[in-house]
A and B are shown apart, each in its own frame.
Chain A
C-alpha cells in the first residue's frame, strides 16, 4: 500500500502537535478548567503515553483531537495535523466544525480511536461485521463484497478465528477480550495514521490485557501507525510507549522519553506515583509511600501549582503564589515545577 510506505518513510517526524489546548466546562459552581494549556507532539510511527489519575483531563484531551467532546466543552488552542496520506497542507483540527465534511473524512480514516468499554462502544443492535464494514464502506470502498473481504481479513489479523461465523454475531456474543479485538480491527480497518487508545485494556483481565497489548504492538509494526495511549497504569506505559506525558489536574506536569522518565523522574507527582504503586517483586509488607490528600476540583483555581496541597516539596510563597511554567531539563525532558525553575533559582538538593 502506498500510504504505508509513506508512513514508514517519515517515521519520527511530527504527525500531530497540540499547542496550548484548553478545555473549559461551565458548571453551576463556576468554570471548570478541565484541560489547562496542554502541549505535546505525536511523532509518526511512535507511541505517546498520556498517564494520569481519573479526572485529570486525559480523556478529554484525546477526544478533542477528533472533535467528539460533549457540546458543553469550550475548547481553544491549536491541534496541528500534518497528514502524509494526501498532499494537503497541515490542518488545525480544532478549527473544523465537529460535523464538517473535512473532519468526518479524517475521523475513522486517518485518525481512529478505541475506547475503554468495548461493551458500550459497540451498538448492540448491529452485528460486529456490520459495524466493522460501516467504516470501510464510508472511507475505502463502496462495494459491499469488497468491504466484507477487508473486514474478514482484519478480523483474522487481530486473531479472531472462525471469522465468517464471528462476522455475523452480535456484540453480546463476544467476550470482553474478543470485543476489544474486534474494536481494534474496526479502528485499523482503514489503515489510520494515528490510533487513539483510551484505556484500551482497563476492563480486561491481566492475561487478556497482555494479549491485547501484544497485538497492538505487532499491528503497529505492521501498519506503522502512531499511537496515543491514554492510561492510568504506569506498567502499561513502561511496556508500550516511546514517550510519556504525565498529566495532573488538566496540565502536563512532566514529559520525557520513557526510559528517562522512569530512571530520572523529576516532578514530585511523578515520583509520588511511582512510589505509591506496589510492584511485583517489591517484597511483602513494605509500606507504600502514598500521596496524601486527593485531587481537587479545578474550579476557579487561582494561579498556582495544582499539586501544591499534596506536594511534599512545596515552597510556600512560591508554589501557591504564581502559575508554573515549563522548564526544560534536557532537550526532550520537560517539567512544570518551581523546584527546577529559574524563577525560584537553582536545582533542589
Chain B
C-alpha cells in the first residue's frame, strides 16, 4: 500500500479561449489545472471531489493522456518498478502503458457505441492490444462478463437493450479486460439511480479486492466518496485545497471549503441539525479567478491576507495537506460519525 503507482508533479493545463474583443485578437488562456501534485499508492482509492468546473475531470483526462497537459509530469511506476513519465511517451511505449491505465466514464448512454455489440465493445481493447485467437478472446470476454455481473448469453446484443446499470457494468468490463493496474472512474455512478448506484459501488469494491486495482474516483457526491475512498483530494478552481485520508478529512477538515461542501450535503434524516453553512455567491469564473486564495470571496473566515497571497499546499498533520493560511487556527466542523 505504501508503494507508489503514480506521482503527479506540478501538472498544469491551460485551455485557449477566444478573446471576446476581436475576431483575430490573441486568444486568452484559462488555467484549468494549477500546479497539481500528489502521489497515488498501489491498491488505494483516491477520490477527487469538487464543484463543477473545478478541473477534476480534466485532471482525470490528463492522467490517462486523454488531453495533453500543458506542463508537468505524470510519472507511472511500471510493474518492474520503472519510473516513467507517461506524458512524454509516444507510440508503442505509450500504447503499452495504456493497457495498465483505463477509464470509466460518467454517462453509460454516450460512452458505448450504439453500433457495436456488447461483445465487440468489451473485446475491443483486447483485440487492439494483444494478439489473441478468437477462442481466447471469447473465453476472456465471457470470464470478465461473469465477474462484472453480466449475463454471458446477452453479449451479442447491442447497448440499447440494456439498462443504465447494466451499461455501466459493460463499461467496467471493457476497462477491466486488459487487466489494468489503475482505473480512473470519472463520475462513474452519478448518472445512475440510487439503488443501482449501490450495486455498482459494491462491484467496484469487489473487483478492487480481487484484482488489486488502484482507483482514482472522480465524484461530486461526498457521501459516496466517504464510502469508497482511502484518501480524498478536494479541488477548487484548478487547485487542490485539501488532501488527506478519508477519516481525517471528514472527521477533522482543515479547509473552510471542505467544511462548506460537507455541510451542504442534504442528510437523509429529518432530525439532523438544520444549521448549515450556506456559501454565498457562485463558483468564480476560472477565466478570471480571484486574487490570492481562489476561495476567499466565498469564505467566512477570510482576512486581508487571503486576497493578496495564495496559500501553498502544506502538511499540517500526518498525511494531511491543506492550502489555507489559517488551517491551524480555524476550528472547523466535520462530520459526526454514528
Contact = CB atoms under 8 A, between A and B. Distances in A.
Interface stretch (A4-12, A138-146, A228-236, A325-333): A228-236
Interface in B196-236: 196-199, 201-202, 205, 220, 222-224, 226-230
24 contacts: A205-B283, A206-B261, A207-B51, A207-B260, A207-B283, A208-B283, A209-B264, A234-B194, A237-B268, A258-B270, A262-B269, A273-B194, A273-B195, A276-B198, A280-B335, A283-B226, A284-B230, A287-B202, A287-B205, A290-B199, A292-B199, A294-B163, A294-B196, A295-B193
B286 interface: no
B277 to A, nearest CB: 8
A288 interface: yes
A346 interface: no
A290 B202 contact: yes
B278 A211 contact: yes
Contacts of B193: 53-54, 232, 295
Nearest to A55: B193
A207 B50 CA distance: 10
Interface of A: 53-54, 175, 177-178, 205-211, 213-214, 232-239, 258-259, 262, 272-274, 276-292, 294-295
B52 interface: yes
Contacts of B262: 280
A282 B223 contact: yes
Contacts of A214: 276, 278
A278 B195 CA distance: 11
Contact of B264 (A210, A233, A277, A282): A210
Given A205-B220, A206-B265, A207-B264, A288 B198 contact: yes
Contacts of A278: 198, 201, 223-224, 226-227
B336 interface: yes
A280 B194 contact: no
Nearest to B49: A206
Interface in B258-317: 260-272, 274, 276, 278-279, 282-283
Contacts of B166: 294
For B166, B199, B261, B274, which residue has the most chain A Cβ atoms within 10 angstroms? B199
B163 A235 contact: no
A278 B226 CA distance: 8
Given A54-B193, A205-B51, A281-B338, A286 B266 contact: no
Contact of B269 (A177, A209, A238, A287): A238
Contacts of A238: 266-270, 272
B247 interface: yes
Contact of B266 (A236, A259, A285, A288): A236
B125 interface: no
Contacts of B131: none
Given A280-B222, A280-B262, A290-B201, 13 more contacts: A210-B263, A234-B194, A235-B268, A236-B266, A237-B268, A239-B266, A239-B270, A282-B226, A282-B338, A283-B337, A291-B195, A291-B198, A294-B165
Contacts of B247: 284
A289 B297 CA distance: 41
A295 B196 CA distance: 9
A277 B268 CA distance: 9
A272 B197 CA distance: 12
A209 B266 CA distance: 9
B32 to A, nearest CB: 17
Given A210-B278, A214-B278, A259-B270, A232 B264 contact: no
Interface residues of B, number: 50
B57 interface: no
Contact of A284 (B226, B260, B264, B266): B226
B250 interface: yes
Task: Return the 4 tightest CB-CB contacts between A and B, nearest first.
Answer: A235-B266, A290-B198, A276-B198, A278-B227
B106 interface: no
- The CB with the most chain A CB atoms within 10 A, among B201, B202, B263, B282, is that of B282
Contacts of A277: 194, 198, 223, 268
B123 interface: no
A205 B201 contact: no
Given A273-B195, A277-B194, A291-B195, A213 B271 contact: no
A233 B262 CA distance: 16
Contact of A280 (B265, B270, B282): B265
B279 A288 contact: no
Contacts of A262: 268-271
B52 A205 contact: yes
A175 B282 contact: yes
Nearest to B338: A281
Max chain B Cβ within 10 angstroms of own Cβ: one of A211, A238, A274, A284 = A284
B12 interface: no
B148 interface: no
Given A53-B194, A290-B198, A284 B229 contact: yes
B268 A210 contact: no
B178 interface: no
A288 to B, nearest CB: 4
B246 interface: yes
Contacts of A288: 198, 201-202, 227
Which interface residue of B165, B196, B250, B260 has the most chain A CB atoms within 10 A?
A: B196
B148 to A, nearest CB: 15
A177 B280 CA distance: 12
Nearest to B203: A290
Interface in B131-159: none
Nearest to B222: A280
Instruction: Pick from B193, B229, B266 the residue with the most CB of A within 10 Å.
Output: B266
Given A206-B222, A292-B199, A232 B194 contact: yes
Nearest to B197: A276
A107 to B, nearest CB: 30
Contacts of B267: 235, 238-239, 279-280
Nearest to A52: B193
Residue from A206, A211, A272 having most chain B Cβ neighbours under 10 A: A206
A278 to B, nearest CB: 4
